[in-house]
Amino acid sequence: DAGITQSPRHKVTETGTPVTLRCHQTENHRYMYWYRQDPGHGLRLIHYSYGVKDTDKGEVSDGYSVSRSKTEDFLLTLESATSSQTSVYFCAISEQGTGANVLTFGAGSRLTVL
């Protein structure tokens, strides 16, 4: 998956517990994104980053926070997981954020909240 690693790939957790998903890239791309994929909804943007310590909200950001302390790492945290956050989470990177640049995706992280 072109220099993008997501971890963990699978996680089962209980309601109310904190969860952190990690996205690591070796491409030195400036832009990083977290999406969630749910049946019937396609992919929806949670948060994105346009540089170290520069992040912004997407369309479904409630209940999620992110951090980017290094170019290569973008962390997604669920402070208190809920069953509605059961989903497949994809990290993506883009060299530039002009919209003409291709998004490259990681393999995904499947999260189940019981």
Partner 1 sequence: AQSVTQLDSHVSVSEGTPVLLRCNYSSSYSPSLFWYVQHPNKGLQLLLKYTSAATLVKGINGFEAEFKKSETSFHLTKPSAHMSDAAEYFCVVSGGGTYKYIFGTGTRLKVLA
Positions that interact with partner 1 (CB under 8 A): 1, 31, 33, 35, 40-45, 48, 50, 56, 58, 90, 92, 94, 97-100, 102-108
CB of 106 to partner 1, least distance (A): 6
d(CA 19, CA 39): 22
Based on CB atoms, which residue is closest to partner 1, 22 or 44? 44
d(CA 73, CA 62): 21
Based on CB atoms, which residue is closest to partner 1, 26 or 80? 26
Please give the backbone phi and psi of residue 84, each rounded to the nearest 5 degrees, phi first: -70, -10
